[in-house]
Amino acid sequence: MVNNSEKLVTMKTTLSAIALGSNLGDSRATLEGALIKLDQTSGITVKSHSSWYKTAPVGPSQPDYLNGCALLEVEQNPQELLKTLLGIEQEFGRVRKEHWGPRTLDLDLLLFDDLILDTPDLQIPHPRMTQRAFVLVPLAEIAPDWIEPVSKLAISELVQKLDCSGVSLDQVSD
């Protein structure tokens, strides 16, 4: 007979990469607050994050963005992590009005270990990450050797294929 009180239940941790962006309000404070909130969330540990980068917006006329990436160790499945990210966006005042419009906080799930997933609500790897310098430049800073599972190329190789002239290190001192 097995004594259930002696069983140790451990959930596998998975390395995940997210992108963070903001162009409304105090973007730096919002992004740093989102990292704190993520790290305080049960089942999520922020392992590292990139510098912040100033980038031109994609879509309608709007202010420049502050973008970065973070590596998370998660004890959640991808759908749970997505739900957590969307909830944090809402906590920071995210309102979805217009496609690619301005936002207080944008959190995108980029990579979840080497998983390839295509559902109506979630695609992993993020479907446009390999075309976006504002994602790959900060991701290459913290995970240059991570192999993107569709292209089978390292992040450092993918970033070399893009025009990164619109992405500059934010010079605001801490």
Q: Which residues form the catalytic set?
A: 94, 103, 106, 108
DSSP state letters, 103-155: -S-EEEEEEETT--EE-SS-EES-TTGGG-HHHHHHHHHH-TTPEETTTTEEH
Pairwise CA distance, residues 50 & 107, whole Å:
14
Pairwise CA distance, residues 31 & 66, whole Å:
8
DSSP-derived 3-state class of residue 124 = strand
CB 145 within 8 A of CB 155: yes
Asked if the bond preceding 125 is cis, omega within 30° of 0, the reply is yes
| Residue of 115, 138, 118 whose CA lies nearest to 127 | 118
What sections of the chain are H helices per DSSP?
27-39, 78-91, 133-142, 155-160
